Amino acid sequence: MSRKYLTIEEISKEMRISVGTARNRLACSRPMPPNLKAGRRRLFPEDEFEKWMNDLIAKDTHNQSCEEVSK
């Protein structure tokens, strides 16, 4: 089974941020999907990226539910 990797450009498009913002987040150790460095390139395993995004969505949905209860 071969694993598919996404580039920083593809990740940026999915996250709806600029490539520059993605690079800054990586440089500043801000939250970003799991990745590895291959030479000068950053590669993101597609399956881990999807899991990371789903976890963020679930966390956001949970936080919104908690906010509604506290109102």
Q: Looking at the 3D structure of the chain, how many domains does it have?
A: 1
Predicted pLDDT at 3: 86
Exposure string over 28-65, b if 16+ CB within 10 A, otherwise e:
eeeebbebeeeeeebbbbeebbeebeeeeeeeeeeeee
Residues of the domain holding 13: 5-70
Structure letter (DSSP) for residue 31 = S
Distance CA 55, CA 59 (A): 6
Residue pLDDT tens, the chain, 71 long: 578 999 999 999 999 999 999 999 999 999 999 999 999 999 999 999 999 999 988 887 766 655 555 55
CATH number for 40: 1.10.1660
Distance CA 8, CA 41 (A): 8
